[in-house]
Structure 1
């Protein structure tokens, strides 16, 4: 079973596995509403199908799993008063929740760029397999948004203050680091993906532990580099984790604060190359987005995935009503001059009342899961 050639998302039944291929390689497999409306019912169908034992999701082409959502289309819809600004976020978040609560093994092969909407399609699933080509980021504060698709759930559950750091700065994690921090569950070399997929579809009625065992066996092949000692005996030298530990240390020390303003003070006082770089990065982001995101991560740490998605839908609609999202898309994605004119332009100009209103209930229009 597969969809017609040329479809933006392909579905196949291979062995006992349902395989989803995001099929917009020229657009880096960016997720749009049409794709969401195909994936959601297919997942619902497979979870009830006794002949489908697991689901695999991957991206077509060499570059990306999924580089994000179709943000330009949402921006155009918002300007035109089109319902896409409600429909895409609502249906995407419902899909994220379906993945997060899926009752069969769900394996995302995040081999390549994985950002925004692509994170939502992968990170809530039971298994996420990164490779040396994986590039993970949640860069939404740079376009007047916030790290949505359940970012408020998984980011505060990363080690220390790493999730808050990633959320505010849009910092890019690459390769093995994506697995080290817990965004991916496993890491292997990209040339092993085809072999892994074959072994996955050959599993007979696998449990989550069966899938984990298979993935572990692949990861063990790359977890250490081999080196021959002077007496010819092959020994294992584990890959250095210094950079990862340093990143965690800096994040904890500098991003442990009660507000975005305090974080900026910490960074300025520290004065290290790392701190100066983050100060420079944060200065480019939407001040409103930074404050929304700080509160989102704080609140999300105490919430279930479902509660987070309801909160994030409220935030998404607040961004659709505001100024910075449209300005960010124009400056970063359309004109590409990377110099958006944010309103307000400073952190001090963003009132607590304005942020509070973004978190307010939408009443009948709230997301229902």
Structure 2
């Protein structure tokens, strides 16, 4: 009898211990998951950054941005690290942008996340642009907004047939930031202006054709490409370029398919060369082609304020340095956070998902030059500094 009681007690104790171990493990895995939203590893000659939030399409948060920046600086100084690779986990996205819902929520809760997030993100964008070592971004999958910022300023960008590029910020009351004011107006003709105002999506080889990517490789070959890059011995930029070129040359996917916007380039250049959004709209109306009318429909759904600040920013950015553009974008981002349209855009697209934002002001006429000036005003001692 006594033995039975001891046995019962022991089994109770064991199940209690087992439950405890399981709970501890769950707590740990939860902690690990939170801690490892970005993986930073040294492989061969390379520092490898893996964005590790696949369920959230590897959306960037403040923690990831800070970790990447700090590791980038270490690898830049490390003589054993010859190149840096950045990629996304999960096979669906490289990075679908910044975690803007978290930012909107934080502002409503009177937290300072927005001030910090944009500052750290733009400082990281600039660090990538000025990096002294080859930086290779595998933009294999969805690459939007903040994901563009941590790839496009690097020396090498590898697109695949799964790549989807877009700067869709005018649809959420924001503007194409992360240096968009620098790289977009430098694309061929007025293509960057078109992409910025409409949020048009480029896919696959077209991401390479417009110059967002420097190389195009079959998605299934990306891990082999990574192995070959990592195995290089103290490579120069030229050695890295040679390996990428070899893979690029071998890729035949969609090679004979024409660029999706090829037949519309003249229209885009003609319609989007105006200095005001109103004039662009008039140009599209006058053109009257199905393509022009489709773009008109898209533009009419965007935040009028976003459209106007975006166009002004791109025109200015076409002759500014990247640092000047990012400084201005920080001012603009903080003005957007104080305004109505960003929070309304996040609500309509990400929270309620009714896709029916109520913009204020509701039309272009009501967005005055004075309103616009406020988005570009210096923040004094709070301005972005590099």
**Which residue of the other structure, out of 108, 112, 137, is the alignment partner of 1:83?**
112
Residue 274 of structure 2 aligns with which residue? 257
Task: Name which of 53, 56, 81 aligns with 1:52.
Answer: 81
Q: Quote the Cα distance in structure 1 between the aligned partners of 2:263 and 2:238.
A: 33
* Cα deviation code 1:77-101 (max 9, x no counterpart): 1112211010000000000000010
Q: 1:133 aligns with which of 152, 162, 178?
A: 162
Per-residue CA deviations over 1:212-269 (Å, capped at 9, x if unaligned) read 11111111112588xxxxxxxxxxxx61435342242221021111210000001111
Q: Any conservation in 2 of the 1:159–1:248 contact (CA below 8 Å)? A: no
Q: TM-score of the superposition, structure 2-length normalised? A: 0.90
Counterpart for residue 355 of structure 1? 372
- TM superposition shift of 1:208: 1.5
Asked if 2 retains the 8 angstrom alpha-carbon contact of 1:133 and 1:174, the reply is yes
Distance of 1:144 and 1:102 partners within structure 2? 32
Cα distance in 2, alignment partners of residues 248 and 10 from structure 1: 41
Match of 2:220 in 1: 191
Q: Aligned residue for 1:215?
A: 244
How far, CA to CA, are the matches of 1:262 and 1:128 in structure 2? 35
Task: Please point out which of 62, 70, 81 is paired with 1:33.
Answer: 62
Query: Using the alignment, how far apart are the partners of 1:224 and 1:120 within structure 2?
Result: 26
For 1:265 and 1:202, the matched residues in 2 are separated by 55
Q: What residue ranges of structure 1 are gaps of 5+ in the alignment?
A: 226-237
Q: Which runs of 4+ in 1 moved over 6 A?
A: none
Is 1:322 matched with 2:351? no
Query: Separation in 1 of the partners of 2:372 and 2:308?
Result: 7
Supply the RMSD in Å over aligned alpha carbons. Answer: 1.2
Instruction: State the match for 1:281 in structure 2.
Output: 298
With normalisation by structure 1, the TM-score equals: 0.94
Q: Paired residues, what number?
A: 354
Identify if the C-alpha distance between structure 1 residues 45 and 349 changes in structure 2 by more than 3 Å, giving closer, same or farther: same
Residue correspondence of structure 1 range 289-368 to structure 2 within 5 A: 289-368=306-385
Higher alpha-carbon Rg: 2
Aligned to 1:146: 175
Residue 162 of structure 2: SS of its match in structure 1? coil
2:358 aligned counterpart, secondary structure: coil
CA distance in 2, matches of 1:160, 1:166: 12
Please name the residue that 1:270 is paired with: 287
Measured in 2, the distance between the counterparts of 1:304 and 1:242 equals 29
Cα distance in 2 for residues equivalent to 1:32 and 1:156: 27
Secondary structure (helix, strand or coil) at the match of 2:121 reads helix
Q: Report the Cα offset of residue 308 of structure 1.
A: 0.4
- Measure the CA separation in 2 of the matches of 1:33 and 1:210: 34
Q: Could you list the runs of 5+ residues in structure 2 that have no partner in the other structure?
A: 1-30
Q: In the alignment, does 2:125 pair up with 1:96? A: yes
